[in-house]
Amino acid sequence: MTYSDWSLTIIQPFLQDAVGFLGRLVLAIVVFIIGYLIAVGIGKIITEVLKSVRFNSLFTKEGWSHALQRANINVHPAEFIGAIFKWVVVILALLLAVDILHLAQFGGILTQVLNYLPNVVVAALIFVVAVIISDIIEKIIRVGVERMKIGHGYLAASIVKWAIWIFTIFLILDQLLPNSVLIQTLYMAIVWGIVGAVALGVAIAIGLGGKETAAEIISDMWRKIEHKG
């Protein structure tokens, strides 16, 4: 093979492909930069609009803000929603850039990420709502039990709060790992485990020296309920 033949069959096609790829790369970078700037703008606009309608004030009512602070969650709802829209547009811009580069496999991965994003958002919302609801219900139960003057209000409130959190954890896992047989199996195992642990604890308390204490608690609560009735 002469140099001319070698040049025609190898070098020129390579240079053509390289020039074509560089052109697509520059275009993809420009598209992504423009898309990112648009995403930042959309995020800021949505955040400012929500602030203007006092959306954040909804979470300062009924002690919601205090409940979130107790859980060490420092989140501003308007900024959070604005950030969600921003990153959705960023991923869309990245998809366009990847499509320009003809990277089908990577584009498929980004599409899966984009489709999975709503699950993450729902899981985050479930977590925030659980923080608020568990705090409110804990206070209601503790105050209600104490007003009945049957004692052990803190214990009852704590049990209900942890029950809510266990249920919440599985709701979140169901969003992050949809249709997971493992999650369903763990859920049933933990539910039955809790039931078994409570039953075993009661049996041990009654049978191994806790008999008098358990009897006193039950008798005290029953006497106060009858007195109220």
What is the DSSP code string of the chain? --HHHHIIIIIHHHHHHHHHHHHHHHHHHHHHHHHHHHHHHHHHHHHHHHHHTT-GGGGGGGGHHHHHHHTT----HHHHHHHHHHHHHHHHHHHHHHHHTT-HHHHHHHHHHHHHHHHHHHHHHHHHHHHHHHHHHHHHHHHHHHHTT-S-HHHHHHHHHHHHHHHHHHHHHHHHSTT-HHHHHHHHHHHHHHHHHHHHHHHHHHHTT-HHHHHHHHHHHHHHHHHH-
pLDDT of residue 190 exceeding 80: no
Reported for 98-106, long-range contacts at CB under 8 A and 24+ positions apart, including other chains, are 98/28, 100/24, 100/27, 100/28, 100/31, 101/21, 101/24, 101/25, 101/28, 102/24
pLDDT tens-digit series, residues 11-28? 666 666 677 778 888 888
pLDDT tens-digit series, residues 121-160? 788 777 777 777 777 777 777 766 666 655 566 666 777 7
For the chain, the average pLDDT equals 71
Instruction: Return the higher-pLDDT residue of 83 and 70.
Output: 83
Instruction: Specify the pLDDT at position 67.
Output: 55
Contact call for residues 214 and 206 (beta carbons, < 8 A): yes
Residue 51, domain member (yes or no): yes
At 95, is the pLDDT very low, low, confident or very high (cuts 50, 70, 90)?
Answer: confident
pLDDT tens-digit series, residues 31-68? 999 999 999 999 999 889 888 877 767 666 555 555 55
Domain count, the chain: 1
Q: Which domain holds residue 88?
A: 1-55+74-102
Span 67-73, average pLDDT: 56
Span 101-108, average pLDDT: 73
State what percent of residues in the chain have pLDDT above 90. Answer: 6
Instruction: Specify the pLDDT at position 151.
Output: 57
Instruction: Specify the pLDDT at position 208.
Output: 46
Residue 158, domain member (yes or no): no
Residue 4, domain member (yes or no): yes
Contact call for residues 127 and 172 (beta carbons, < 8 A): yes
Residue 129, domain member (yes or no): no
Instruction: Return the higher-pLDDT residue of 87 and 63.
Output: 87
Residue 33, domain member (yes or no): yes
Instruction: Specify the pLDDT at position 77.
Output: 74
Instruction: Specify the pLDDT at position 152.
Output: 60
- The pTM assigned to this predicted structure is 0.54
Q: Lowest mean pLDDT of 83-92, 135-144, 201-210, name the range.
A: 201-210
Residue 68, domain member (yes or no): no
Instruction: Return the higher-pLDDT residue of 106 and 85.
Output: 85
Span 193-219, average pLDDT: 55
State what percent of residues in the chain have pLDDT above 70. Answer: 53
Span 209-218, average pLDDT: 57
Instruction: Specify the pLDDT at position 54.
Output: 77
Residue 170, domain member (yes or no): no
pLDDT of residue 210 exceeding 70: no
Residue 198, domain member (yes or no): no
